[in-house]
A and B are shown apart, each in its own frame.
Chain A
Amino acid sequence: KNQVEQSPQSLIILEGKNCTLQCNYTVSPFSNLRWYKQDTGRGPVSLTIMTFSENTKSNGRYTATLDADTKQSSLHITASQLSDSASYICVVNRAGGSYIPTFGRGTSLIVHP
């Protein structure tokens, strides 16, 4: 069964600190993996996309990694800001056939001053 599991479920950090969010998936065959940021009461916004051949990709203070062998991805946030408080959702797309993406439950990040 195609699943996406994220950890931790929630995380509280102090402003300025770094953090890493994890995503494990069983979706197969793999096409790509995206990280989305969802602010409270808003729609998700795409942060990065990782394809099979990519190991790491940065977008400002966000760095995503992908290990396609172990089917794991991480999202590292550097020098966190209050505005980083949000839910971070890992979404995996299958290759071929259905284009329905599989969503994780998200990690709720709270950044305290």
Chain B
Amino acid sequence: EPEVTQTPSHQVTQMGQEVILRCVPISNHLYFYWYRQILGQKVEFLVSFYNNEISEKSEIFDDQFSVERPDGSNFTLKIRSTKLEDSAMYFCASSTDSLSPLHFGNGTRLTVT
């Protein structure tokens, strides 16, 4: 069964550094998402992406965050200047349409020191 893949599985970075989290969504899906889950807390929506542009974003998704779909397969989340509070599990998800179930990747654990 096709799945969403995320790399790396774990990223450690120093505060103030830029990080890029990578995702390969399921190939025939059209909607792409980033979520994050701080340890012990609930999953939080960051951004949705459709037709090569952001369709919705949350308050968390400020100017430090950006997303790109640089080619036909990859979907990336960039954090320009990481803060300690950015430490979390970041999940990429994709779906066939905006109301279909989300297919999540297994996440990238980001640790900011």
Complex alpha-carbon distance, A31 and B106, angstroms: 27
Is there a chain A Cβ closer than 8 Å to B73's Cβ? no
List B contacts of A49 (CB < 8 A).
101
A-B contact count (CB 8 A): 46
In the complex the two chains form, is A100's CB within 8 Å of B48's CB? yes
Question: Which positions 1-28 of chain B face chain A at CB distance < 8 Å?
Answer: 4
Complex alpha-carbon distance, A93 and B31, angstroms: 15
Complex alpha-carbon distance, A103 and B36, angstroms: 12
State how many residues of chain B have any CB contact under 8 Å with chain A.
21
1/0 contact string of A73-101 vs chain B (CB within 8 Å) = 00000000000000001000100001111
In the complex the two chains form, is A99's CB within 8 Å of B99's CB? yes
1/0 contact string of B73-112 vs chain A (CB within 8 Å) = 0000000000000000001010000110111111100000
- Within the complex, the shortest CB–CB distance from A19 to chain B, in Å, comes to 20
Interface residues of A (CB under 8 A from B): 31-32, 34, 41-46, 49, 89, 93, 98-101, 103-106
